[in-house]
Amino acid sequence: MHALFTGLARFMAILGGIVLSALILLTCVSILGRSLNGILHGDFVMGLAPGLAHWLIDIGVGPVNGDFELVEAGVAFAIFAFIPLCQITAGHASVDLVANALSRGTNRFMRMVTEVIFALVLILIAWKLADGMLSKKGYGETSFLLQFPVWWAYAASLFGAVISAIVGTYMAGVRVTEFVTGRILVWDGVETDQ
């Protein structure tokens, strides 16, 4: 069972990485195009080769239209795509100053409570994203420049949020079972078997 959820979490992280890499490439191309556009509109190039400058501008050398809209939508998805792997590997930031002084049972209880709360929050986020997506779809709202339906971005984020909620719920179940049985089911390096 754990292998299935780990595989799902890794798949989402890879998908999020691909989307994030594409967004980085898009941003670099847009910045390069914006810089070239500025140079092509400059007095030097317009005086030296006005035909070339106009031709390059006419074929679309310039910033990517709507780049910030695509980045906004893509980053939202990428964030949700990385949460499952972080959740299943206990990769979230933690402060262990107080926890190290507590007993093993108290630490397991705190981990269980944290995982359950996190799972509930992920479920709430997915639920509210679904509400937001249905609202955006119902109103037919579109982005300003590209005019793509805003609900598409919500749907992509919802996909990631639902997977995050599923993995979070699984990990909450694991931590509850660990607390009740006193056995470590998922070794993540946080707790040692002493």
Tokens of 155: 């749907």
Residue 92 belongs to what domain range? 2-181
Q: What is the pLDDT of residue 194?
A: 45
31-68 pLDDT, tens digit per residue, is 999 998 888 888 888 888 888 877 887 888 888 999 99
Identify whether 187 is part of a domain: no
Q: How many helices (H) and strands (E) does the chain have?
A: 6, 0
The vertex-51 CA angle with 26 and 29, nearest 5°, equals 5
Between 38 and 158, the higher pLDDT residue: 158
Identify whether 190 is part of a domain: no
Q: What is the pLDDT of residue 50?
A: 81
Identify whether 24 is part of a domain: yes
Q: What is the pLDDT of residue 47?
A: 85
Identify whether 110 is part of a domain: yes
Cα–Cα distances in Å, from 114 out to 52, 108, 119?
62, 10, 9
Q: Which residues lie below 8 Å from residue 119, measured CB to CB, with a gap of 6+?
A: 165, 168, 169, 171, 172
Between 33 and 91, the higher pLDDT residue: 33
Identify whether 146 is part of a domain: yes
Strands (E), 5-70: none
Nearest by Cα to 164 from 130, 135, 121, 193: 121
DSSP annotation of 10 reads H
In the structure, what pLDDT confidence band is assigned to residue 135 with cuts at 50, 70 and 90? very high
Buried b or exposed e, range 49-78, using 16+ CB within 10 angstroms: eeeebeebeeeebbbbebbebbbebbbbbb
Identify whether 150 is part of a domain: yes
Q: How many domains does the chain have?
A: 1
pTM equals 0.86
State whether residue 193 is helix, strand or coil. coil
State whether residue 81 is helix, strand or coil. helix
Please say if the pLDDT value at position 169 is more than 90: yes
Mean pLDDT of the chain: 90
Identify whether 189 is part of a domain: no
DSSP annotation of 98 reads T
**Measured distance CA(164)–CA(85) in Å, rounded:** 9
Please say if the pLDDT value at position 94 is more than 80: no
Please say if the pLDDT value at position 92 is more than 90: no
**Measured distance CA(104)–CA(110) in Å, rounded:** 10
Identify whether 194 is part of a domain: no
In the structure, what pLDDT confidence band is assigned to residue 27 with cuts at 50, 70 and 90? very high
Q: What is the pLDDT of residue 48?
A: 86
What does the DSSP assignment read for 141-175? Answer: -B-SSS--BHHHHHHHHHHHHHHHHHHHHHHHHHH
Between 119 and 93, the higher pLDDT residue: 119
Question: Averaged over 6-22, what is the pLDDT?
Answer: 97
Q: What is the pLDDT of residue 191?
A: 61
Please say if the pLDDT value at position 189 is more than 80: no
